[in-house]
Structure 1
């Protein structure tokens, strides 16, 4: 009540003062009452400031972390690519290791030319590799897949375990395939025209013997389809080797033809030089003879005129020879010859060849030098502007009558002179053969006939 009495005594100013004091008291009470809440607000403000600071730091750390993450992701991508490459290499290595376990090695045939043989052998080897990596459990051959190289005919147990028995049988399949592949590789490496059928039989015998052992020991065997593929591979290798041999023979024929052309060209060039010199000598002699005619007496004039006539005739012959040489050098002009050698080969064998030499008999003499006991007899020497085409046409027509059906370089045929005459008559217009075609039917065979008579005489002398 003291504040009331004070207010009354002091008037309105006192009342205001008293009210202010009262409010301050109440404020103090409120502050005391809500002091914990005010402390929380300060705490919250301080924590908010801390959180804001931490947020800024966290954002900065997050940005750095994201940068590091991107770098790590790039490293992971590179690592994955490298890992994929390594896994591919490991897959190939594992495949090679599996194939080697079964005794299979990728063959290398040193193909000289890409073609049918390379494709066929590549397909066969791809099938063999695919079959090797597949093992089946089949007791019924009729239902057996063609995708396995070996199979289990009947599952056996080992230590009362079927799983162990199957593992043992798979190891046995690997063993018999190693043996079969090894033997087949040996057969393939040795195959040639003399033993191809024998090598086929050996593949079959090897298959039967190895399968018998596998079935008897561990109830496993080799797929018959795999065996047939190995025989196919052997056949392709044989055919490829034969093809290579034919290619070599064809190359040898081409080289021989080139050498013959070179010899002919050298002969042409030499003859042309000699002909040019001869023409010059004749021209000089002719000019000299003509200049001497005017001052000569009758006797000398007659002699000089005869000389001039002879020189003019020789000049015409030399001009004709020069034209022939020039034509032969620029075209395929040459001679196709039909020759025989009764003493060496009998009556029913003829050689059909071609030469572009100026002296075709030089070629015939070469053929009869040392390789045969008697010289050849010439039945026809046909000069034509395209000798290679005529020779090729005759060879093609009588191809089935060749003595040597494997080597076309050997130009001997089982054919008669009448048959050749008929074919030449048919080809004359077709190939525009200008010269008359005349075949000498009889073979002189002088040395053979004289040798035969002398031998008969010696035999009679010995008997006497």
Structure 2
């Protein structure tokens, strides 16, 4: 047993040694493997650290880019908001411009609108009476407390009487405001802004109604209508006064012209009579000399002088007859056709008349400082009834007037051939026409401009 134990012990020792060697070998292998793997792990760790650093740098760059992008996005957002604001402003501006254009067109149309009179009075006094009547009706409505309405159920501290007083005060205040607006409209109304002034009255009444809504205060529509009537009558009164003023001005000018013509005729007659007497005295003297003359040669000379003096006396006598005729016939005179190429252009003619002995003086007066160039005469027609011939021409070309309002502005846009035709049909004497006006100053001015250019 002992031997067997010994043998087993030996075997066990050998086996243990073998196992120890095997363990040592395995341990060496594992250590080498571990060492290898450690080296590899360190290498991997180094790579990972490099990669981590790279990632961190990339993350930092991405963060910077993100922040920069956020700034860009924020800026773009602001720009977008500004763009939207600008777009809204542009739309608003466009809308305002459209409104302005519409308003400008409305003002323009209003400035060219023709006011249509309601009343047919021919005298300013009649308009004044109508205006006084309308204003008297307004005063009666105010006096009778019916110019404005107001609530009769309004209370102050549960008191109807105090409420009535407050409503009454409100009515007075609103009426005063309304009347002031209406007075301002009446003061500024003209033929080209009547509709705007009338709308001002209507809007004022609407504003009062809104202001006094809680107390039921509003302007009586009848009172509003009376204010509009006042506006209309005031305008027509203003127009009629101006018309009568212009008529009086024209009448005074006509009277001055007639007085001037009468004086001119009288002075011309006196001068002609003086010359007539002078030549008559000379003829009488020659006749006495002829009666006493004994020389044939001297007699022939005296007869020649007598013939010359008699011829001149006949001319003067004819002139006196013409002057007497002009004084007796107030309708005799000259109808003139004149133009001003530099001032009015082609095919614009003034057709008028004058009773002066020297009609060119009247034409020269028309070419005073009010026009840049002198007038040129195309025709000067003497007529026994100059006003009638002038009236026919004016009537024929009435729709060709440059001024439809003032008939004394006798300018017409017609051709000279059209004027010739009317004169030929209504005047039985030959008339000479100047086809092309000299217009000397105008043409010289144009040449100077061309040279200067």
Q: In structure 2, what is the equivalent of residue 213 of structure 1?
A: 211
Q: Structure 1 residues 313 and 410 mapped into 2: Cα distance closer, same or farther (>3 Å)?
A: same
Contact 1:150 1:173 in 2 (8 A): yes
1:30-179 equivalent positions in 2, closer than 5 A:
115-133=125-143, 148-152=146-150, 155-162=153-160, 164-179=162-177
Counterpart-to-counterpart distance in 1, 2:429 and 2:255? 26
After superposition, what is the alpha-carbon deviation per residue over 1:309-329, rounded to whole angstroms, capped at 9, x for unaligned? 322221221111101101111
Q: Give the whole-Å Cα distance in 2 for the aligned partners of 1:378 and 1:323.
A: 27
The match for 2:261 among 235, 260, 264 is: 264
Closer, same or farther: CA 395–298 of 1 in aligned 2, 3 Å: same
Alignment check: 8 A CA contact 1:246 1:407 kept: no
Post-superposition Cα deviations, 1:197-230, rounded to whole Å, max 9, x if no partner, equal 4433332332222222111x52211133322321
Aligned residues: 331
Task: Look up the match of 1:325.
Answer: 323
Aligned partners of 1:231, 1:167: CA distance in 2, in Å? Answer: 29
Q: What's the Cα RMSD here?
A: 2.8
1:227 aligns with 2:224: yes
| Aligned-partner SS, 2:343 | helix
Q: 1:349 to 1:174 in 2, by over 3 A?
A: same
Contact 2:208 2:217 survives alignment (8 Å) = no
Residue in structure 2 matched with residue 454 of structure 1 by the alignment? 448
Q: CA deviation at 1:262?
A: 1.2
Q: Which runs of 4+ in 1 moved over 6 A?
A: none
Checking the alignment, whether the CA contact within 8 Å between 1:383 and 1:435 is kept in structure 2 is no
Q: Measure the CA separation in 2 of the matches of 1:299 and 1:448.
A: 59
Aligned to 1:22: none
Q: Structure 1, residues 151-174: CA drift from partner, whole Å, max 9, x if none? A: 236843332244543443233222
Deviates more, 1:379-388 or 1:400-409: 400-409
Q: Structure 1, residues 11-34: CA drift from partner, whole Å, max 9, x if none?
A: xxxxxxxxxxxxxxxxxxxxxxxx
Instruction: Give the secondary-structure state (helix, strand or coil) at the position aligned to 1:229.
Output: helix
Secondary structure, counterpart of 1:183 in structure 2: helix
Counterpart Cα distance in 1 of 2:406 and 2:216: 51
Do the aligned residues in 1 keep the contact of 2:333 with 2:355 (CA within 8 Å)?
Answer: yes
Displacement of 1:378 after TM fit? 1.0
Tell me the CA shift for residue 302 of structure 1.
Answer: 4.3
Relative to structure 1, the CA distance from residue 296 to residue 196 in structure 2 (aligned partners, 3 Å threshold; closer, same or farther) is farther
Partner of residue 407, structure 1: 406
Aligned to 1:372: 371
Deviations 1:349-387 (A, max 9, x none): 211222111111111112223332221111221212233
State the Cα deviation string for residues 72-118 of structure 1 (Å, max 9, x = none).
xxxxxxxxxxxxxxxxxxxxxxxxxxxxxxxxxxxxxxx99565413
SS at match of 2:365: helix
Q: Judge conservation of contact 2:348–2:411 (CA < 8 Å) in 1.
A: yes
Match of 2:182 in 1: 184
In terms of mean alpha carbon deviation, does 314-323 or 408-417 score higher?
A: 408-417
Q: Is 2:333 aligned against 1:334?
A: yes
- The secondary structure found in structure 2 opposite 1:202 is helix
How far 1:290 moved relative to its partner? 3.8
Structure 2 unpaired stretches of 5+: 1-120
CA distance in 1, matches of 2:265, 2:173: 70
Deviations 1:139-162 (A, max 9, x none): xxxxxxxxx422236843332244
In 2, Cα distance between equivalents of 1:411 and 1:451:
26
